[in-house]
Structure 1
């Protein structure tokens, strides 16, 4: 069962994502802050991350960059209700992050996850600890 880390400071968004993903046979770990998310990421292996770009007191793109330092081919879905996320594609290390605008429907979330998994193909020399979907 693929493990997904969901980092969002809105509990209702985390809950909705978790319900949708559990129904679709994903194992979910939730974090309400960037710090808690990075701590969970360091403590376990994940197959995908869903990260809110505008976390309370933090920048989600920095969180994604830190996770990618450890697992360069980690599939990531960036979510935001505040702005378009096209600025992520301007940063080479975040160019393959799939962006999803809030509010979104369950089917939109599943399509974004599929796109993120397709966008990042693990290389033969993948970082230890990264798991294949």
Structure 2
């Protein structure tokens, strides 16, 4: 069963993301903050991470950059309540990060996971744009 690390400081978001992933046969490890998430990442093996960009007390991009220092092509879905995540394209260390805007539907999360874990060329992906049929 593929393992996913979910790092989000909002318990309701973590719970929803975890439920969707478990229904889709993923093993989920949850972390409520950046420090706990990075500790889990360093001590275990994961196939994917879902990281909130605005974590209490830190920036989710710092978490992503630390993950990418250890595993350069590690699949990551960045989630945020911001309206635009276009600035992700400007940072080479963040290439191939799949961006998903909150609030999102379970189908959008599932698609983001699929996009993040499939082989692709460099550049970020916007799940809602990639989905086409998902409003």
- Which bracket does the TM-score occupy, shorter chain normalised? 0.7 to 0.9
Matched positions, count: 121
Q: Which residue of 2 aligns with 1:59?
A: 59
Per the alignment, do residues 16 and 55 of structure 1 end up closer, same or farther by CA in structure 2, a change over 3 Å counting?
Answer: same
Query: Greater RCO between the two (CA within 8 Å, min separation 6)?
Result: 1
Does 1:44 find its partner at 2:44?
yes
Per the alignment, do residues 58 and 120 of structure 1 end up closer, same or farther by CA in structure 2, a change over 3 Å counting?
Answer: farther
- SS at 2:5 equivalent: strand
Q: How does 1:1-133 map to 2 (within 5 A)?
A: 1-119=1-119
Runs of 4+ residues deviating >3 angstroms: none
The runs of 5 or more residues in structure 1 that have no matched partner are 122-133
The runs of 5 or more residues in structure 2 that have no matched partner are 122-135
Give the RMSD, CA atoms, in angstroms.
1.2
TM-score by length of 2: 0.86
